[in-house]
Amino acid sequence: MFLQEQLAGCERLGSGFMAVHVVEDDPGVSDSLSLLLEHLGFEVVRHTDAEDLFRSAPPSGNDIVFVDLILPGISGAELLRWLTNLKDPPRIVVMSGQSQSTIDLQLRGIDGMNVIRKPLSHGSITQQLAQLIA
Task: Please check the confidence at residue 110 and state whether its pLDDT lies above 80.
Answer: yes
| Of 54 and 8, more confident | 54
- pLDDT tens for 30-77 read 999 999 999 998 999 999 999 999 999 999 999 999 999 999 999 999
Q: Which domain does 86 fall in, by range?
A: 2-133
Q: What is the CATH number of the domain that holds 19?
A: 3.40.50.2300
Task: Give the per-residue pLDDT at 11.
Answer: 41
Task: Please check the confidence at residue 116 and state whether its pLDDT lies above 80.
Answer: yes
SS3 121: coil
Q: What is the mean pLDDT of residues 101-119?
A: 95
- The C-alpha atoms of residue 67 and residue 129 are separated, in whole angstroms, by 14
Sign of the dihedral through C-alpha 74, 68, 131, 103: negative
Task: Give the per-residue pLDDT at 133.
Answer: 84
Domain count, the chain: 1
CA angle 94, 35, 65 (to 5 degrees): 25
